[in-house]
Amino acid sequence: MNIENNIKELRKRVKESALRVNRNPDEINIVAVSKTFPVDYIKEAVRCGITDIGENRVQEAEKKIIELGNIARWHMVGHLQRNKVKKAVRLFDIIHSVDSLRLAEEINSRTEKIPFPILIEVNISGEESKFGIEPDKAIELAKSISKLKNLKVEGLMTVPPFGLPSEEIRPYFRNLRLLKEEIDRMGIFNEKLKYLSMGMTGDFEIAIEEGANIIRIGTAIFGERKKCMF
């Protein structure tokens, strides 16, 4: 597995995608999702210029973060249970997957890092199998979270349906961007939302064209997933 070459190719594709829609490629933040991969892979990715690492599970992330420390900014990108919040706010620098007021309140009460940055996860496709707040309830959730003093909502996150052709997946990314723009217009937060976290290995180019500035990439950097040992 040549992680260095993979990252070079990924950056090339990111640049091409951004330039197609007259965006600055430097605005696109790559989060290398290291779920199931060993710490040596993470070290190599960081050596090659990756500054942000994503993990899906608190238990697996804890082992890696204890060993590696603050070599990167650590992102919680998977579903977070409320009983794992106390540990998560200690380990991670940002949580992408806040999808309920109860979870936000738990983070608000547990964090010692103030304000703690979060993203609101939106189930933009409405699939029952996916986590995330329903799009038509996202604005009310944003309003409620805005009252929690220890949190800072920095953007929105979504996971679109898997396996769709690119032009069929585009509307899901576009709708998340439109939701962000609506929240910004309403002035729910003190400043405009900074991030749209959307796009993975199979669809990040479309996501960039539709406004993503965080893409969550695993396979295109690390290769096919390994069997998780945690």
Q: Are 190 and 182 in contact (CB under 8 A)?
A: no
Cα gap 21→9, rounded to integer Å: 19
Distances (CA, A) of 123 to 99, 102, 128: 9, 17, 9
Question: Would you give per-residue pLDDT tens digits along the chain (230 residues)?
Answer: 699 999 999 999 999 999 999 999 999 999 999 999 999 999 999 999 999 999 999 999 999 999 999 999 999 999 999 999 999 999 999 999 999 999 999 999 999 999 999 999 999 998 888 999 999 999 999 999 999 999 999 999 999 998 888 889 999 999 999 999 999 999 999 999 999 999 999 999 999 999 999 999 999 999 987 665 44
For the entire predicted model, the pTM comes to: 0.96
Domains and CATH numbers, the chain: 3-222 (3.20.20.10)
Cα gap 52→198, rounded to integer Å: 15
What is the model's pLDDT at position 74?
A: 98
3-state secondary structure of 98: strand
- The C-alpha angle with vertex 112 and arms to 28 and 36, in degrees rounded to 5, equals 50
Q: Judging by DSSP bridges, how do beta strands 151-157 and 116-121 pair with one another?
A: parallel
